[in-house]
Structure 1
Amino acid sequence: MSIATSPSPPTPPRRIAHLDMDMFFAGVELLHYPQLKGLPVVVGGRSIDTPRQLADGRWQFARLGDYAGRGVVTTSTYEARALGVFSAMGLMKAAAKAPDAIILPANFDAYRHYSRLFKQAVRDIAPHVEDRGIDEIYIDLSEHTEPSQALAQRLKDAVYSATGLTCSICIAPNKLLAKIGSELDKPDGLTLLDESSLQSRIWPLSVSKINGIGPKAVAKLATINIHTIAELAQADVGLLQSTFGRSYAAWLLNVANGQDNRPVTTYSEPKSISRETTFERDLHVRHDRARLGEIFTSLCERVAQDLKAKHYMAGTVGIKLRYQDFTSVTRDLTLPSPISDAVAIRKAAGECLKRAPLTKKIRLLGVKLSQLMPMEDSENPAQKQAPLPFE
């Protein structure tokens, strides 16, 4: 006797969203200083650029044209971008383009706070989230039955309700298209893409819009007269293979044709945690010992906070130095047992510093923790702190 079985329900089509906060750091600053909305604002200044409230209640802001140093732009408002000021640009170069722009120092504690808020707001609706950094995430919406337009708007509304900030979102069949699509209608964008959208919305774009095609590959593609995604999708496979090799050529053709099977990964083990800072002027090991000591201690404390926030311990501590001539060195120390305490981290980092040349002025100092492992119920007791080169 045969037993009748019901057919398995069909697998729902993949619906992957990429959600990207709009000018995130600058947006958080505008929450604190709403009077700056609509003005060109640049984030990346020094502590002396912190706004001051005057006796009459008005705020005094620093101007970008008054900046002197070698810092870089962390982010900028759309009004500043319209003047040619973009992330990673040197602040002195930015000052030449927009001298009347307002400059603010970065407040990473605030940015991390708002990052947690928007991600939790999304997870309350759609828990399958891949964290891609402080201001962007992927979301697997395949199991949801709600129409894409309504679901995307609900996610946007939840983010705004939790943070007061806007975001741009794209729902597409895969991560590749979702990532590209979230940029198409910024700011405050809502974009829906399917396979029929590939030729009309994706192919006309520059190949640089594909995540994974960097400046060197863009320049190399230009030498064989390939500039747009459409030209790449229709390129001769032999030409691509002779230019890039078989493996990368195959990947280029796949992504240009909108193919991407990567899953949304909801959890991944961090490999390392680091903090570093570039000084406003080169610091001398002996003459600036006190200042270097303060910075060194702060880096160790901050990286220890990051470590504990993720509930990890570190088996290796390292340091990074960049000198006034732009040469760099790193030194690492693998410990007999993992640590998470700031004092123990500072001691281990100090041992690394003892093995680094300290004869030239320093422009950058960093502390890195690696060989991470989940924090156990009982941590190792902090070891007695030893004298350090900057003490």
Structure 2
Amino acid sequence: MENSSRERITLHVDMDSFYSSVEAREKPELKGLPVVVGSDPRKGKGRGVVSTCSYEAREFGIHSAMPISKAYKLCSDAVYLPVNMKLYKEVSANIMDLIRIFADRFQQVSVDEAYIDIGDSISDYESAILLAEKIKSEVKRLQRLTCSIGVAPNKIIAKIASDFNKPDGLTVVRPEEVEDFLFPLSVSKIPGIGKKTRPILKEMGIETVGQLATIDVQLLIARFGKSGVLMHQLANGIDTREVKERDVVKSISTEDTFDEDIYDPLEIERSFSELSEKVHVSLIKKHFRFRTVTIKVRFEDFRTYTRAKTLHAATTDKEAITKAALNLMEEFIGKGRFRLLGVGVTKLEKLDERQTFLSDFL
């Protein structure tokens, strides 16, 4: 039986500028250059966004999720590369298999980051540091890539710590050091506090984690509801989530950023039909049925909305995806030109791989 009184030691392993680093590994001539991975900038007229970029590109102010057209204006001489997700996933699988060896419990949370819990086998931070250094060394030796690691009492602190000294960093936060580490930081360092929440907190006189941690939680609840309680806990370094393997697919989705904004209802219908087809192929391949259809809509001025509709029963019907998506889209028709449309399905249920998909034959 697991000892509930054991000291938890959690590591967050985060690859450094993963996509661009993999590209530079595969193409050594890119080393030291500003590299931007995303869509074609088309000399500043591209429609997509930056997926990631090298640290050299970040010196020009480029960052992930930035419109590719803006990135081009900031650095037209950068090397712009398309996303090669097949390659990144292959490299990621090798890295995750390597990291998993060192874990008592392992949780991959994205293609380039993972948590490991080592509290069963290691009970002191000196040994944890040696293990973290070993992981960094092995990733560099076997994959020729660097990662940054945060070592801390829980997941939230470990994640913040891994980003503290990038690239190729190692930041350790012992239990008695939590306040000294967290409190001086900007509230933006807490995952989930983004560009919408920060201005509201600033109005309340809250700009640092310490200010968020020490404010009366009732004031946060009055402004943010239950989210205020969570923000207050995280600011105080409280995170009771365990490191758990994720083996459940929660959603399947795809989206398309158009070369030119669209507004014609026939074009919109054609786009949703194509997107629904892609989602359906993935759904069948992974042996799921769904209950909820979601859409993502982005206007030409970057206003972005999502909508969802839950069906009465789970299905694999492709037409159900298209029909629900078009119904959800009706409220946006005629209100502007669209830069991006996306479709997804959630509330997935696993099917027996031998089960016949009747919808394929109807």
Unaligned runs of 5+ in 1: 1-7, 47-63, 387-391
The alpha-carbon deviation at position 36 of structure 1 amounts to 1.0
> 1:215 aligns to what SS in structure 2?
coil
The structure 2 residue matched to 1:88, chosen from 65, 71, 74, is 65
CA–CA distance in structure 2, aligned partners of residues 90 and 29 of structure 1: 20
Deviations 1:124-147 (A, max 9, x none): 221512222222111111112381
Could you tell me which residue of structure 2 aligns to residue 198 of structure 1? 178
Could you tell me which residue of structure 2 aligns to residue 17 of structure 1? 11
Give the number of equivalent residue pairs. Answer: 352
TM-score, normalization: structure 1? 0.76
The alpha-carbon deviation at position 28 of structure 1 amounts to 1.9
Alpha carbons 1:168, 1:190 under 8 Å: kept: yes
Alignment pair present for 1:264 and 2:240:
no
Greater Cα shift, 202-211 or 323-332: 323-332
The structure 1 residue matched to 2:116, chosen from 122, 139, 151, is 139
Relative to structure 1, is the Cα distance of residues 353 and 218 closer, same or farther in structure 2, using a 3 angstrom cutoff?
Answer: closer
What pairs up with 1:94-105 in 2 under 5 angstroms? Answer: 94-105=71-82
Greater Cα shift, 183-192 or 233-242: 233-242
Relative to structure 1, is the Cα distance of residues 362 and 296 closer, same or farther in structure 2, using a 3 angstrom cutoff?
Answer: farther
Q: Which amino acid aligns with 2:47?
A: R
Relative to structure 1, is the Cα distance of residues 91 and 385 closer, same or farther in structure 2, using a 3 angstrom cutoff?
Answer: farther
Greater Cα shift, 169-178 or 320-329: 320-329
Relative to structure 1, is the Cα distance of residues 171 and 243 closer, same or farther in structure 2, using a 3 angstrom cutoff?
Answer: same
Alpha carbons 1:316, 1:333 under 8 Å: kept: yes
Q: Which amino acid aligns with 2:356?
A: N
Alignment pair present for 1:375 and 2:355:
no
Q: Which amino acid aligns with 2:175?
A: E
Q: Which amino acid aligns with 1:125?
A: F
The alpha-carbon deviation at position 285 of structure 1 amounts to 6.3
The structure 2 residue matched to 1:117, chosen from 94, 115, 124, is 94
> 1:214 aligns to what SS in structure 2?
coil
The alpha-carbon deviation at position 364 of structure 1 amounts to 3.1
Alpha carbons 1:65, 1:98 under 8 Å: kept: no
Alignment pair present for 1:320 and 2:300:
no
> 1:176 aligns to what SS in structure 2?
helix
Alpha carbons 2:261, 2:339 under 8 Å: kept: yes
Deviations 1:2-39 (A, max 9, x none): xxxxxx97832101111111111111222232211111
> 1:132 aligns to what SS in structure 2?
strand
CA–CA distance in structure 1, aligned partners of residues 299 and 232 of structure 2: 44
Q: Which amino acid aligns with 1:152?
A: A
The structure 2 residue matched to 1:37, chosen from 25, 31, 42, is 31
Deviations 1:213-263 (A, max 9, x none): 333332222223222122333334565555555x55544443222222121
Instruction: Provide the aligned C-alpha RMSD in A.
Output: 3.6
CA–CA distance in structure 2, aligned partners of residues 127 and 297 of structure 1: 43
Relative to structure 1, is the Cα distance of residues 284 and 269 closer, same or farther in structure 2, using a 3 angstrom cutoff?
Answer: same
CA–CA distance in structure 2, aligned partners of residues 321 and 43 of structure 1: 23
Q: Which amino acid aligns with 1:235?
A: I
Q: Name whichever structure is richer in helix by fraction.
A: 2
Same amino acid, percent of matched pairs: 33
The alpha-carbon deviation at position 296 of structure 1 amounts to 5.2
The alpha-carbon deviation at position 187 of structure 1 amounts to 0.6
Could you tell me which residue of structure 1 aligns to residue 196 of structure 2? 216
Deviations 1:24-74 (A, max 9, x none): 11112222322111111111123xxxxxxxxxxxxxxxxx58242222111
Deviations 1:147-204 (A, max 9, x none): 1011112222343345332111111101111011001111111121112222432221
Could you tell me which residue of structure 1 aligns to residue 277 of structure 2? 300
CA–CA distance in structure 2, aligned partners of residues 195 and 108 of structure 1: 38
The alpha-carbon deviation at position 307 of structure 1 amounts to 6.1
Alpha carbons 1:72, 1:87 under 8 Å: kept: yes
Relative to structure 1, is the Cα distance of residues 38 and 371 closer, same or farther in structure 2, using a 3 angstrom cutoff?
Answer: same
Deviations 1:319-340 (A, max 9, x none): 737486678786868597743x
Deviations 1:55-107 (A, max 9, x none): xxxxxxxxx58242222111111111111011111122222211211111111
Alignment pair present for 1:178 and 2:172:
no
Could you tell me which residue of structure 1 aligns to residue 342 of structure 2? 366
Deviations 1:354-381 (A, max 9, x none): 7566987764343323331223041324
TM-score, normalization: structure 2? 0.81
CA–CA distance in structure 2, aligned partners of residues 286 and 233 of structure 1: 49
